[in-house]
């Protein structure tokens, strides 16, 4: 499959979970992929694994909440490949707590990584995309944008990402750049496992209870999100702009 042949993609939070699944899918479609992440050991492991499959990848230890680090990494990608075609803003972190117990640090770090990070990365890549009159930005939101107990920081950040998506779609569409968002439901990732642990549940029990509430009868896999992201990156989606698609196994999942 070569729907993204010759394209250059940046995936944040690409060392594991959904980000890793997205990186692999874009690489399978022919893209050259640069991974941005703070987890050096996981990043190195993922790059090695995907390179062994014949894919072209680079990686950068980058905190997306730091605009200088982001600008530096994006500049290096553009210098190496001559352009940046695709950005997937996937980097994320959880600091769940009820409002009465949530600290300033809990709030700020989640907002910084998810929302500020998405802004930093979009701002850094847009000049290269404008110059080439082509670009695809896909922001990873969440069903929790609609609200979730103990997740006021996460829900606010993910809702903000949807607003950012629609605004950037309006601003950048004239330059051949589309901006869309994928909002996952419950996905089998380490983050979900950590969440189950925080509830005092085994992951198996958590999955069983959660799947019973999802119309398709299962929780999602990273590849489910990767397929949606890849579609937004293709030429076939060029008239889809400013949209949010919930990939959650049901309309209320």
C-alpha pair distances (Å), 39 with each of 11, 91, 92, 106, 206: 14, 11, 12, 19, 26
The mean pLDDT value of the chain amounts to 96
Summarize the confidence of residues 17-44 as an average pLDDT: 97
| Catalytic residue (one of 60, 154, 195, 246) | 154
Q: Which two tokens stand for residue 177?
A: 């750049």
Q: Express each pLDDT in 107-129 by its tens digit.
A: 999 999 999 999 999 999 999 99
Active site residue 128: no
Cβ-contact 188, 221 below 8 angstroms? yes
Give the CATH architecture of domain 8-187+221-247.
Answer: 3-Layer(aba) Sandwich (3.40)
| Tokens 């987890």 found at | 39
**Measured in whole angstroms, how far is the alpha carbon of residue 133 from the centre of its chain?**
23
Give the Cβ contact number of residue 77 at 10 Å. 25
Please report how the helices 67-81 and 117-132 are oriented relative to each other, as an axis angle in degrees rounded to 10.
Answer: 30
Q: Express each pLDDT in 46-59 by its tens digit.
A: 999 999 999 999 99
Q: Express each pLDDT in 77-101 by its tens digit.
A: 999 999 999 999 999 999 999 999 9
Cβ-contact 20, 14 below 8 angstroms? yes
* Domain spans in the chain, listed from the N-terminal domain onward: 8-187+221-247
The confidence score (pLDDT) of residue 63 equals 98
CA atoms of 127 and 84, how far apart (whole Å): 9
| In the predicted structure, residue 252 carries a pLDDT above the cut 90 | no
């Amino acid at each position: 499959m070569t729907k993204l042949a010759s394209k250059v993609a940046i995936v944040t939070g690409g060392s594991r979970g959904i980000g890793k699944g997205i990186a692999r899918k874009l690489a399978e479609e022919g893209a050259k992929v640069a991974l941005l992440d703070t987890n050096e050991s996981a990043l190195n492991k993922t790059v090695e694994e995907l390179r062994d499959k014949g894919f072209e990848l680079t990686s950068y230890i980058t905190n997306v909440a730091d605009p200088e680090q982001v600008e530096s990494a994006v500049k290096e990608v553009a210098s190496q490949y001559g352009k940046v075609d695709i950005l997937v803003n996937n980097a994320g972190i959880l600091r769940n707590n009820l409002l009465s117990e949530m600290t300033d640090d809990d709030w700020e770090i989640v907002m910084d990584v998810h929302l500020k990070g998405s802004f930093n990365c979009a701002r850094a890549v847009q000049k290269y995309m404008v110059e080439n009159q082509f670009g695809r930005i896909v922001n990873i939101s969440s069903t929790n944008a609609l609200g979730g107990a103990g997740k006021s920081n996460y829900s606010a950040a993910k809702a903000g990402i949807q607003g950012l998506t629609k605004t950037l779609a309006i601003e950048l569409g004239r330059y051949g750049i589309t901006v869309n968002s994928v909002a996952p439901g419950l996905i089998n990732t380490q983050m979900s496992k950590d969440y189950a642990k925080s509830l005092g549940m085994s992951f198996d029990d958590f999955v069983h209870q959660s799947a019973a509430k999802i119309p398709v009868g299962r929780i999602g896999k990273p590849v489910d999100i990767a397929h949606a992201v890849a579609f937004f990156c293709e030429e076939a989606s060029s008239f889809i702009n400013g949209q949010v698609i919930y990939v959650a196994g049901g309309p209320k999942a």
